[in-house]
């Protein structure tokens, strides 16, 4: 079964073949977060989409190197640290820890490499020097700019005309730019700000050069897959292509470009003023991360996704049903097989809605259900942990619930059905649902 991916660079769905002539190893680079604040639901989508692609590639190829960077130098970070009166390092360390907690709760596997931009400044400077030497960049007023007209292919990748390139830059044209489309590779910093010494004075890198330097460091100048949100196609990815192709002679940079679609929330564009702006953390305080992951997988990754809390509740109920199958038919780990239907759906440009439909067909094969769900990052908890624990478990604790269940069993034996019902109803009011099973066993779950 060949993996097919829609390639933004060629604007069509293509068979994926790795660069490795032996066909064994695959490299994937995904643009990670700029770490100044909690991630929101829009940032969560690429995390889950590319984690699912990573799982598919790992099932197909011997070695997969997944590189997901962290942008820890940026104007927004500097401004936020100043606002909060803390050091940049304290802000970025705190935000990275929160980000890792969020992506763990979303069921994302850990990438092989998570490079921090500030650990790769010398590689960025070296790349900028090569661009200058090859006539594709110039220094002016302590800045270094990429010379867009020096590369006739600029705009081809992102399918942007010259006018759109300039509009897209959305900046006032700085006097030191030779051409309005030229973009910053290096910019000056004040001595008290975050910065590094460079041949062009004390300063810091532009955002785009970070990804060109870090991707080639870990995956080489040519590699297989580059991913990110659609909003990154222009200018970020267009500029990465220009930098890498011009700075590394003979390089075509990434071969397959995979972009996830936009996220709306409650039917509208996300906005703090409308009240439909959710951080992942606030959702995870009230819902299990797995339910959020399921909502994100219910829409094929290229389509726009409309998130809502109602969908999150439905996803939680759907997982209750699937975990119910696993609870009622305990299985030995490692005894199931991934279904061909799930593999075929995922291999078809990561058709997750179809893969989920295939998953539901496996309800009578619980071992296969669990093995197949792994491909989607779902159903890997112990059913008891799913039903009893969970994020936002604000109701009674396990010991109290079990004591009340025992009391109810005793009440039933004493034919005190009023008391038995009272216990069931009071627990329900506190978010705990009792389920009487054959043999006098009572299961429970948090609603």
Which residues are at the interface with Zn ion (CB under 5 A)? 31, 211
Give the Cα separation of 121 and 332 in Å (integer): 49
- Closest to Zn ion by CB, 115 vs 288, is 115
What number of other Cβ atoms are within 10 A of residue 52's Cβ?
A: 25
- 23 to each of 17, 60, 134, 222, 378, how far by Cα in Å? 7, 10, 33, 15, 28
- Closest to Zn ion by CB, 247 vs 377, is 247
Question: First and final CA of the chain: distance in angstroms?
Answer: 40
From the list 354, 335, 336, 333, the residue with the least C-alpha distance to 344 is 354
From the list 320, 279, 292, the residue with the least C-alpha distance to 443 is 320
Q: What burial class does residue 83 get, using C-beta atoms within 10 Å of its C-beta: 0-12 exposed, 13-18 middle, 19+ buried? A: exposed
- Closest to Zn ion by CB, 211 vs 345, is 211
302 contact partners, CB below 8 Å, separation of at least 6: 6, 259, 260, 261, 349
- 214 to each of 144, 251, 317, how far by Cα in Å? 19, 15, 41
Instruction: Give backbone dihedrals phi and psi of 267, rounded to 5 degrees, phi first.
Output: 80, 0
From the list 51, 9, 3, the residue with the least C-alpha distance to 23 is 3
* Cβ 228 to Zn ion shortest distance, Å: 6
* Cβ 229 to Zn ion shortest distance, Å: 10
- Closest to Zn ion by CB, 244 vs 265, is 244
- Closest to Zn ion by CB, 32 vs 377, is 32
- Work out whether the CA dihedral 231, 233, 238, 241 comes out positive or negative: positive
* Cβ 239 to Zn ion shortest distance, Å: 9
Which two structure tokens, joined as six digits, stand for 312? 């999150």
Give the Cα separation of 24 and 9 in Å (integer): 23
- Closest to Zn ion by CB, 75 vs 348, is 75
* Cβ 301 to Zn ion shortest distance, Å: 18
SS3 217: helix
- Closest to Zn ion by CB, 69 vs 276, is 69
- Closest to Zn ion by CB, 211 vs 295, is 211
- Closest to Zn ion by CB, 215 vs 339, is 215
SS3 66: strand
From the list 55, 77, 82, the residue with the least C-alpha distance to 66 is 55
* Cβ 31 to Zn ion shortest distance, Å: 3
Give the Cα separation of 423 and 403 in Å (integer): 11
* Cβ 254 to Zn ion shortest distance, Å: 11
- Closest to Zn ion by CB, 7 vs 238, is 238
* Cβ 344 to Zn ion shortest distance, Å: 31
* Cβ 214 to Zn ion shortest distance, Å: 8
From the list 293, 280, 281, 229, the residue with the least C-alpha distance to 259 is 229
User: For the chain, how many helices (H) and strands (E)?
Assistant: 16, 14
* Cβ 12 to Zn ion shortest distance, Å: 23
* Cβ 211 to Zn ion shortest distance, Å: 3
β-pairing verdict for 263-265 and 305-307: parallel
């Amino acid at each position: 079964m060949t993996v097919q991916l829609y390639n933004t660079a060629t604007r069509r769905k293509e068979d994926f073949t790795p660069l490795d002539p032996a066909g064994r190893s695959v490299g994937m680079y995904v643009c990670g977060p700029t770490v100044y604040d909690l991630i929101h639901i829009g940032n969560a989508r690429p995390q889950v989409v590319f984690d699912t692609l990573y799982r598919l590639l790992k099932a197909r190829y011997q070695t997969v190197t997944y590189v997901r960077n962290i942008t820890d130098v940026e104007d927004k970070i500097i401004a936020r640290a100043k606002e909060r009166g803390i050091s940049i390092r304290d802000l970025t360390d705190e935000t990275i820890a929160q980000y890792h907690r969020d992506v763990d709760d979303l069921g994302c596997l850990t990438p092989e490499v998570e490079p921090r931009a500030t650990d790769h400044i010398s590689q960025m400077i070296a790349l900028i020097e090569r661009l200058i030497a090859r006539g594709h960049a110039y220094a002016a007023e302590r800045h270094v700019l990429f010379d867009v007209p020096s590369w006739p292919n600029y705009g081809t990748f992102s399918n942007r005309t010259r006018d759109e390139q300039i509009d897209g830059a959305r900046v006032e044209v700085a006097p030191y730019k030779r051409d309005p489309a030229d973009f910053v590779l290096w910019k000056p910093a004040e001595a008290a700000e975050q910065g590094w010494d460079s041949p062009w004075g004390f300063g810091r890198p532009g955002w785009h050069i970070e990804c060109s330097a870090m991707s080639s460091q870990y995956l080489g100048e040519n590699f297989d897959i580059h991913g990110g949100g659609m909003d990154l196609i222009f200018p970020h990815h267009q500029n990465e292509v220009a930098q890498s192709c011009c700075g590394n002679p003979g390089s075509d940079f990434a071969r397959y470009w995979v972009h996830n679609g936009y996220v709306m929330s409650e039917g509208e564009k996300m906005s703090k003023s409308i009240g439909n702006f959710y951080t992942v953390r606030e959702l995870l305080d009230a819902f299990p991360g797995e339910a959020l992951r399921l909502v994100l997988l219910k829409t094929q990754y290229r389509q726009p996704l409309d998130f809502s809390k109602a969908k999150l509740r439905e996803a939680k109920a759907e997982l209750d049903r699937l975990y119910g199958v696993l609870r009622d038919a305990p299985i030995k780990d490692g005894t199931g097989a991934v279904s061909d239907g799930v593999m075929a759906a995922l291999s078809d440009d990561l058709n997750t809605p179809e893969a989920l439909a295939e998953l539901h067909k496996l309800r009578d094969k619980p071992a296969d259900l669990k093995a197949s769900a792994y491909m989607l990052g779902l159903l890997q908890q112990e059913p008891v942990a799913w039903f009893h624990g969970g994020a936002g478990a604000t109701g009674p604790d396990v010991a109290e619930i079990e004591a009340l269940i025992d009391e109810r069993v005793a009440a039933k034996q004493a034919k005190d059905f009023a008391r038995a019902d009272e216990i069931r109803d009071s627990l329900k009011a506190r978010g705990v649902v009792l389920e009487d099973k054959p043999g006098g066993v009572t299961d429970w779950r948090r609603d």
